[in-house]
Amino acid sequence: MFVLAPLLSALLLAVEPPTAANVNAVQGAGPYFALTFDAHVESAGAAQLLALLRERRVRATIFVTGRFAETFPELLRQASRDGHEIGNHTYSHPHLTTWAENHRHDTLPAVTRASLQSELRRTAVAIEAAIGRPPSRFWRAPYGEHNATIRGWAAELGLVHVDWTHADHDSLDALDWVEEPGTRRYMGPEAMARRILNFEEKNGVSLAGSILLMHLGASRPDQPLLEALPIVLDETDRRGLKPLPVGELLARSGGLVSGSAANARAGVH
């Protein structure tokens, strides 16, 4: 079983009971933000993206499924050697709520305490087998689908849910997962970078303390993050903002954690 460190427990209890905790931004952390990457079944571009982060001396939080850990253990070992924080993204990336059906986060009938905890435990075993140590205390629900009950089941294993930063009708989702050219949310690398960098001005939500969603491995042949991410890092560096893993961002916050069941929204990833 995972056990929350005393400092992290105190940070989360300052906001709401840990059974409902949902971290999607961190206040008071100073000029820092978090880069997070989800990894499920795709590995295309993953090695190049890790190399880019290594070259830039950037560390991030990477949420991986158990299937990814079992299928691409060397990629995960490289990420761990590079100092990235490894989080849990369930084993098989299942839908957990009814969001796709009714835009509500009601727990799907097939999702139970036992089934969710099995997904999380299997993933923890797969990650430890790949990197030689347990994953971090953080997890992210597939597709952004979660609620207080689901987060509570995960909290029984000592896991804290990490979302990404949201605003009204928008979020810090890079949309690098959108594959079909010509669709509304499909973007090239420059537009993707502008979307991220303009988020604060557009929505009034500070990039300092924010959590950005991207993906490690994608099926898009052009691998837009390889071009978009350097643009983002160059500009955030110019603004005096530095990326950190989620755990380090929380440690710098002095207990000011943002995020709750009320402001959780779904993304498709």
Strand locations in 55-111 (E): 61-64, 85-88
Cα end-to-end distance, the chain, whole Å: 28
Q: What would you measure as the largest C-alpha separation in the chain, in angstroms?
A: 49
Q: How far is CA 104 from CA 99, 101, 107, 266, in A?
A: 5, 8, 9, 9
Q: What's the pLDDT at 104? A: 97
How many structural domains are present in the chain? 1
* Residue 140 counted as domain residue: yes
Distance CA 232, CA 128 (A): 32
Distance CA 8, CA 195 (A): 31
Instruction: Indicate the angle between helix axes 225-238 and 46-55, nearest 10 degrees.
Output: 20
Distance CA 25, CA 34 (A): 9
CATH number, domain of 255, equals 3.20.20.370
Alpha carbon 159 to chain centroid, angstroms: 14
Q: What's the pLDDT at 17? A: 46
Q: Would you call 24 helix, strand, or coil by DSSP?
A: coil
What range does the domain containing 182 cover?
6-263
257-258 and 25-26: which strand pairing? Answer: antiparallel
Task: Let me know: does 20 contact 198? Beta carbons within 8 Å.
Answer: no
Residue whose tokens read 């990235």: 84
Q: What's the pLDDT at 256? A: 56
Phi, psi of 26 (to 5 degrees): -130, 115
* Residue 40 counted as domain residue: yes
Say which amino acid occupies 237: D
* Residue 32 counted as domain residue: yes
* Residue 59 counted as domain residue: yes
119, two tokens: 């997904």
Distance CA 213, CA 196 (A): 10
* Residue 268 counted as domain residue: no
* Residue 53 neighbours by CB under 8 Å, 6+ apart: 59, 60, 82, 84
Residue whose tokens read 């990326």: 243
Q: What's the pLDDT at 254? A: 72
Block means of pLDDT (10 residues each) for the chain, length 269 residues? 41 49 93 98 96 98 98 98 98 98 97 98 98 97 97 96 96 95 94 98 97 93 95 98 97 67 33
* Residue 67 counted as domain residue: yes
Output the DSSP codes for 221-266: TT-THHHHHHHHHHHHHHTT-EEE-HHHHHHTSTT-EE--GGG---
* Residue 105 counted as domain residue: yes
Alpha carbon 129 to chain centroid, angstroms: 21
140: number of CA atoms within 13 Å, CB side? Answer: 34
Q: What's the pLDDT at 46? A: 97
Task: Let me know: does 59 contact 242? Beta carbons within 8 Å.
Answer: no
